[in-house]
């Protein structure tokens, strides 16, 4: 394990915006349990596709998109607060 210093742009939480040493732009640090939930949400979409249940696919995909949109909005807000341009 290596210890480093990183820049923290948001409060510590399940999805902190941080910049690692040597990186131009901050990224999102996601806790393992949050990553597992995200993976489970994608798995639900895949399983609903396999069953051909388009209504369930849509519901699961809508929830997944909303969660990703919230994460992206947090990232973009942190960039804006620190006058860092978006990398995209």
Is residue 60 included in any domain, yes or no?
yes
71 pLDDT exceeds 90? yes
pLDDT at 12: 76
The answer to the question of residue 28 being in a domain is yes
List pLDDT tens digits, range 2-48: 999 999 999 877 899 999 999 999 999 999 999 999 999 999 999 99
For residue 75, tell me if it sits in a domain: yes
Compute the distance between CA of residue 20 and CA of residue 22 in angstroms, rounded to an integer. 6
pTM assigned to the model: 0.86
Total structural domains within the chain: 1
Give phi and psi for 64, each to the nearest 5: -60, -45
In a domain, residue 2? The reply is: no
Tell me which residue range forms the domain holding 61.
7-81
Query: What mean pLDDT comes out for the span 35-62?
Result: 96
Would residue 88 count as lying in a domain? no
Q: Is 40 inside any structural domain?
A: yes
- C-alpha 26/C-alpha 6 separation (Å) is 10
């Amino acid at each position: 394990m290596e210890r480093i210093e990183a820049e923290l742009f948001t409060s510590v939480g399940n999805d902190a915006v941080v910049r690692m040493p040597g990186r131009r732009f901050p990224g999102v640090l996601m806790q393992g349990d949050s990553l597992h939930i995200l993976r489970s949400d994608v798995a639900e979409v895949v399983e609903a596709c396999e069953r051909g249940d388009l209504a369930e696919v849509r519901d699961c995909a809508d929830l997944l998109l909303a969660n990703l949109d919230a994460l992206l909005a947090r990232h973009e807000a942190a960039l804006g607060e620190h006058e860092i341009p978006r990398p995209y």
